[in-house]
Each structure stands twice: as C-alpha cells, then as structure tokens.
Amino acid sequence: MENKSLFANLAQLITQDKKFSFTILSYISVLAIFINLSLTPTPIIGTPATIIYLLVNSTFLGNALFQDEKLLIKLLLGNLLLIVILTLTGLTIMILYNLDTLRTAMVLSIVTLITSTLNKRMKPRNATK
C-alpha cells in the first residue's frame, strides 16, 4: 500500500475537482475576499480566504501545465504563474478602468475561470502522480 502525505492527497482531490467543488470553493473565497475588502477589512477573514484561493488555483495551474514535475515543484511553479496571471489581468483592468474593490473581485474571478478551465481541459492528458 502506497503511503501518501496529507498534502499529496489534498492536491489529488483538488486536481480531480469532482462536480466543480474546488472551483466553487475558489469562487467562495473570492466572495469572502470581496466582502472582507468592502465591509470589514480584517485579517481573520482575508488571510484564510486568500490562502484557500492561492492553494486551489496554484494546484490547478501546476497540474495543468507542469505535469512531469514533483508535487512541490508543481505547486511552486503554479503559484508563480498564478501571480503573473493575476498581475497581468489586474494591470489590464487598471488600464481600462479604475481598479477598485469590485474590479479586484472581478480579476480574481477571471483568473479562477482561467485556472479551472485549464485544469479541466488538461485533466485527460495528465493525472496527478
């Protein structure tokens, strides 16, 4: 019997994303970040929501684009790529409009859509090892 770590099991659950449960979790974290930014700016709400958002979407990107790497490398490269995509999307929104709280939530939602779609499209080609 193969002994996997808790993180490896969590990464496998995230990349399988049955019934879009982790995509929905990512959108819920975007909503929590939006509510935190607009109503009650507190780190008690913002920090866990941001960690969940980064973990889910980094795992999506890492699995979709770096299938031949080890799990930690997938997460690190996925996190780096997620930050780049967030920066480019935020810059585009900032150039076209004023980047405020609502548009920040829009940027996070767009990036969630991109990462979830990439994960779903690449899943048949590469399952998490």
Residue 29: per-residue pLDDT:
96
User: Does the structure show a pLDDT above 90 at 40?
Assistant: no
Residue 83: per-residue pLDDT:
95
Residue 36: per-residue pLDDT:
94
Give CA–CA dist 63/126, Å, rounded: 8
Count the residues in the chain. 129
Residue 125: per-residue pLDDT:
55
User: Does the structure show a pLDDT above 50 at 129?
Assistant: no
Tens-digit pLDDT profile for residues 80-120:
999 999 999 889 888 888 888 888 899 999 999 999 998 88
pLDDT, averaged across the chain: 87
Extract the tokens encoding 22.
């982790």
Provide the strand spans (E) within 33-81: none
Residue 23: per-residue pLDDT:
92
Q: Which has the higher per-residue pLDDT, 43 or 125?
A: 43
The residues near 35 (Cβ < 8 Å, ≥ 6 apart) are 45
CB atoms within 10 A of CB 15: 22
User: CB-side exposure of 126: number of CA atoms within 13 Å?
Assistant: 18
